[in-house]
Amino acid sequence: MRIKQVRVTPIAFRDAPLLNASGIHEPYALRSIIEVESDNGFIGLGESYGDAPVLSVLQAMQDSLVGLDPFDLNGLRARVVKTVAALKPGTAGAELAPGSHPSKQVANAYSAFEVAFLDLQARSLGMPLVDLLGGAVRDRVPFSAYLFLKYAEHVGSPYKPDRWGEGISPEQIVAQARTMIEENGFKSIKLKAGTLLGPEHEVACIKALRQAFPEAPLRIDPNGNWSVQTSLRMAELMGDDLEYYEDPCPGLEGMAEVHKITGIPLATNMVVTDFDEFRRSVALNSVQIVLADHHYWGGLRDTQILARMCDTFGLGVSMHSNSHLGISLMAMTHVAAAVPNLSYACDTHYPWQEPDEEVIKGGKLPIVDGCVALTRAPGLGVELDYDQLAKLNDQYLTCGIRSRNDVTQMQKYDPSWKALKPRF
Ligand code: GKR
Ligand code: MG
């Protein structure tokens, strides 16, 4: 079997005005959809970042993969390394989408195609992708309710307000959680923090969630936007309420200090994003839970290696997410199903995406009892809807956004807004 054609299609889909440490989400999120077609009629699918620097690498790769055997992952890696070396260094990607950073160019381009290669391999063998990862240790993968403080609508909104409405007060955040849990059955809750509303307000939201959902494991994620002092102060207020404390402050040293003083388990998708940082984190005992993300950890197999490393060093494993659609959700689900030591429900932004903007046939994937289920369908178990792909590609072409920038988006609300870390 040989690769006959590779297609990388950028898409844009609507995104809600969600607040975070950098500022606020733009009206559209960008992704790229990868198709790798074999000469015997199979198509492997992948989904990755759609920011310009990432897209340029993925598109530059397309022709170099023609003729390759889709089982030749070493051949894929060699071609990624060669392509990235030949390109000019990209401009810095959004910090909150760690995989779009130039230092991650090889890992994220390899990952984008590795998923599609594995999907193609599995389809040609008539087996689910998870079987190529050693088989499923669970057939349903748990995800958490991922809450955001948010405005009711985008500034100068190009479309009608999203169905979630405003999410600013603790009561509104509890209502957001209720809707998300009613619709998806989530058992754990994560609150994105580090926003302009400030730590005390965000802790009040955690307190309200604790009262409304006494049994639910809770996490808060200020995306490194609180100083060590602020992180310690907030830990005193809510330490007992937390399952884990995600990236309260910047840097491995700061995180180590917060853990040493509070004893609260710390999780990260910001200070451990590759194996070198993993080594330094273990030496400092900076984090106790690593949030894996195959999009920038170098694919599904490297995510399994990361999970094994976590097991070796006694660390927990969970999963990070950016705004994404169903191909990524299924890739996350297949790899998470093959990780025996997955210790926490994974993150996903999926409930935030609009039902009419999925690129796979059948529309949005169901999340039932907080879980995404695997089937025995070949590969990732999803098929592309080409009408939807064309619609979202048109939206990409007209939306005017080419790289995520939550700072400039926030400056539309407040011209004096600056990127600051930590802000509080
Ligand atoms: O979408 O605003 C967001 C999140 O802050 C995202 O960009 C982060 O990468 O969800 C992520 C996280 O857990 O840090
Ligand atoms: Mg995080």
Predicted confidence at residue 98, as pLDDT, reads 53
Predicted confidence at residue 282, as pLDDT, reads 98
- Which value does ipTM take for this structure? 0.95
What residues does each domain of the chain span?
Answer: 3-126, 132-373
- The DSSP line for 139-151 is SEEEB-EEEE-B-
Is residue 153 exposed (0-12), middle (13-18) or buried (19+ Cβ within 10 Å)? middle
* Residue type at position 390: A
Atom 14 in ligand 1: residue holding the nearest Cα = 223
Catalytic residue among 192, 324, 334, 349: 192
Q: How far apart are CA 355 and CA 364, in angstroms?
A: 6
Do residues 349 and 324 make contact, with C-beta atoms less than 8 angstroms apart? Answer: yes
* Ligand 1 neighbourhood includes 130 CB (under 6 angstroms): no
Q: How far is CA 92 from the centre of its chain?
A: 18
Question: Which residue's structure tokens are 């969970």?
Answer: 318
Predicted confidence at residue 92, as pLDDT, reads 44
Predicted confidence at residue 10, as pLDDT, reads 98
Buried b vs exposed e over 401-411: b needs ≥16 C-beta within 10 Å?
Answer: bebbbbbebbe
Q: How far apart are CA 352 and CA 404, in angstroms?
A: 17
192 is catalytic: yes
Buried b vs exposed e over 207-245: b needs ≥16 C-beta within 10 Å?
Answer: ebbbebbeebbbbbbbbbbbbbebbbebbeebeebbbbb
CATH number for the region 132-373 comes to 3.20.20.120
* Highest CATH level, class, for 3-126: alpha beta
Torsion sign over Cα 328, 333, 334, 336: positive
Q: How far from each other are the two terminal CA atoms of the chain, in whole angstroms? A: 56
* Mutate-to-test residue for ligand 1 from 24, 25, 195, 223, highest number of ligand atoms within 8 A of CB: 223
- The atom number, within ligand 1, closest to the CA of 270 reads 14
Predicted confidence at residue 99, as pLDDT, reads 53
What is the distance in A from the centroid of ligand 1 to the CA of 312? 27
Q: How many beta carbons lie within 10 A of that of residue 150, not counting itself?
A: 25
35, β-bridge pairs: 7, 45
* Secondary structure element (H or E) that encloses residue 390, with its range: helix 386-399
CA distances from 41 to 3, 6, 63, 379, 381 (A): 10, 13, 18, 14, 16
Predicted confidence at residue 94, as pLDDT, reads 44
Question: What does the pLDDT profile of the chain (424 residues) look like in tens digits?
Answer: 999 999 999 999 999 999 999 999 999 999 999 999 999 999 999 999 999 999 999 999 999 999 999 999 999 999 999 999 988 665 444 455 555 566 789 999 999 999 999 999 999 999 999 999 999 999 999 999 999 999 999 998 777 889 999 999 999 999 999 999 999 999 999 999 999 999 999 999 999 999 999 999 999 999 999 999 999 999 999 989 999 999 999 999 999 999 999 999 999 999 999 999 999 999 999 999 999 999 999 999 999 999 999 999 999 999 999 999 999 999 999 999 999 999 999 999 999 999 999 999 999 999 999 999 999 999 999 999 999 999 999 999 999 999 999 999 999 999 999 999 999 9
Predicted confidence at residue 90, as pLDDT, reads 53
